[in-house]
Amino acid sequence: MSIERGDVEKIAYLARIQITDAQLDKVTEDLSRILSLVDQMQEVSTEGVEPMSNPLDMVQRLRADQVTEENQRERFQAIAPATEAGLYLVPKVIE
């Protein structure tokens, strides 16, 4: 499968990474090379093979429903780029 400039623009937006027009060709080429490596997977049949997301056959452990965390807003917001009145600030969200 080959990837084109338009695909790259689309995924760059999905990933929220700005790519300038000047960078687009180079990025498209790099990604194409990686995809041709990855495409070697298509040579083998995996019919009926259960996909594996985790190497261990473990199951999810459950936590007791207890409040264990205390308010640490001051510490967390001390490292935030922009806050006011205890809120994180971002450019205006339009709905």
Residue 92 found at the interface with other proteins (CB under 8 A): yes
Phi, psi of 81 (to 5 degrees): -65, -40
Does residue 21 interact with other proteins by CB under 8 A?
no
Single residue of 4, 5, 25, 30 touching other proteins by CB under 8 A: 30
CB of 1 to other proteins, least distance (A): 7
Q: What separation in angstroms does the CA of 67 have from each of 42, 62, 70, 71, 93?
A: 48, 14, 8, 11, 31
Binding of other proteins by 49 (CB under 8 A): yes
In one-letter notation, the amino acid at residue 62 is L
Residue 25: CB minimum distance to other proteins, A: 14
Q: Does 22 bind other proteins (CB under 8 A)?
A: no
Do residues 3 and 28 touch, judged by C-beta distance below 8 A? yes
